[in-house]
Amino acid sequence: MWLAVGPARKRLRDPRVRKLCRFLGLGLLGVSAGGVVEVVVEPRPWKPRQDTTRRARLIDEHRKRIGDPAQGGSTRQPIMTAYRQQALACAASLAEGPRSTSELRAVVPNAPTILLRNWYGWFTRVERGLYKLTPEGAMALARWSPLAPNLHR
């Protein structure tokens, strides 16, 4: 499909007009006052650029998840991410009592980082390299355990 524009030459050179025509898949023709027709933009389907960084992050997140614990159609609920699954696996291991980071690393490879950052407030440090579960962690474990029963790999 083509769009023809009359003698307004200045408007034809505006990059915003050309970009809009490319987005819409339209061809743009410039018609001079003497009747000369010039092709400004060829009509072709618009192809967005690939965002390889975003795609790699999405694939990595999907690869790290265990199962599909997300409830379809739920709103106002936190999303079950791979990080939350790993934190819950650490919490499940700490439910039996305080443990060292080297023991938890067998369950979750990046357990020391999860325990040190303590993003959700579920863990407390007893001494260097030894952590235990907080009451918030026990409540989170009770809340999330029905949705993610297979946390251990």
State the DSSP H helix or E strand holding residue 39, giving kind and residue range, or none if neither.
strand 37-41
pLDDT (tens digit per residue) in 12-34: 778 898 889 989 999 988 888 88
Amino acid at 112: P
Name every residue whose Cβ is closer than 8 Å to that of residue 3 and which is 6 or more positions away in sequence.
21, 26, 27, 28, 29
DSSP state of 16: H
Distance CA 134, CA 124 (A): 6
Residue 153: what pLDDT? 45
Residue 57: what pLDDT? 95
Residue 13: what pLDDT? 78
Within the chain, which residues score under 70 in pLDDT? 8-9, 147-153
Domain 80-153: give its CATH code: 1.10.10.10
CA nearest neighbour of 111 among 125, 88, 90, 85: 90
What is the domain partition of the chain in residue ranges?
A: 2-41, 80-153
pTM over 0.85: no
